[in-house]
Structures are given as C-alpha cells and as structure tokens.
C-alpha cells in the first residue's frame, strides 16, 4: 500500500482531498452516492422516489457531487442520467487511504 499511496500523492493532494471531503460532508450526498454505486446509472426522478426530500434539493446535491467530480451526468433531454465517475471514485478512495495510512 505504501507504493500505491506514494503514487496517489500529487502536487494538489490537499486541494483534491478537500474537494472530495466537502462533497462527502452531507448525509444526503452520502446516500445519493450509495444509491448510485448500487446501480449503473439513474435519473434525478429515480432519486426523488426513494429519498424523502424535494427534487430541487436533490438537484443541488447532485450539482455538488458533480462539481467535486464524484459523479457525472449524461444529458438525455429532457432528463440527465447520473452515474459514479469511476476514475475519480477510485482516486478518492486512494487519496483517503493514503491520508489515513
């Protein structure tokens, strides 16, 4: 793990960690990530059906997760389909593992 951790640490390690940590700092966003990681993709409406919050609030949380790079959206007018950004998801896991090592 030591070699892997060293590969992950980059010049902007702290900025990347902070960006991911901020996105993970809300229980609703954690639940959205859990739901997205359990399926390939879903639409905002799918999340509205299972989460007890308004669509506008879910959209705001999706925006935060997308800005952090943890999810990506594919526009299928008039809807957007969201899924985990696998590359950044792996990167976040490695960064946190390196940080806590």
Indicate the pTM of the whole model: 0.85
If DSSP codes are grouped into helix, strand and coil, which group holds residue 70?
Answer: coil
**Strand pairing partners for 74?**
81
Angle among Cα 46, 49, 52 to the nearest 5 degrees reads: 130
Task: List CB contacts of 48: < 8 A, sequence separation 6 or more.
Answer: 54, 55, 58
If DSSP codes are grouped into helix, strand and coil, which group holds residue 1?
Answer: coil
The owner of tokens 């090592």 is: 101
CB 91, CB 4: distance < 8 Å: no
Q: What gap in Å lies between CA 16 and CA 93, rounded to an integer? A: 12
Residue 82 has pLDDT above 90, yes or no: yes
Res 62: pLDDT: 97
If DSSP codes are grouped into helix, strand and coil, which group holds residue 88?
Answer: helix
Task: List the CATH code of the domain at 2-100.
Answer: 1.10.10.10
For the stretch 13-66, pLDDT in tens is: 889 999 999 999 999 999 999 999 999 899 999 999 999 999 999 999 999 999
């Amino acid at each position: 793990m030591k070699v892997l951790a060293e590969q992950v640490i980059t010049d902007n390690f702290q900025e990347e960690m902070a960006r991911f940590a901020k996105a993970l700092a809300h229980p609703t966003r954690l639940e959205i990530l859990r739901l997205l990681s359990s399926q390939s993709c879903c639409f905002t409406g799918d999340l509205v059906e299972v989460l007890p919050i308004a669509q506008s609030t879910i959209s705001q949380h999706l925006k935060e997760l997308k800005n952090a790079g943890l999810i990506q959206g594919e526009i299928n007018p008039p809807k957007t389909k969201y899924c985990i950004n696998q590359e950044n998801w792996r990167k976040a896991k490695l960064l946190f593992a390196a940080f806590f090592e």
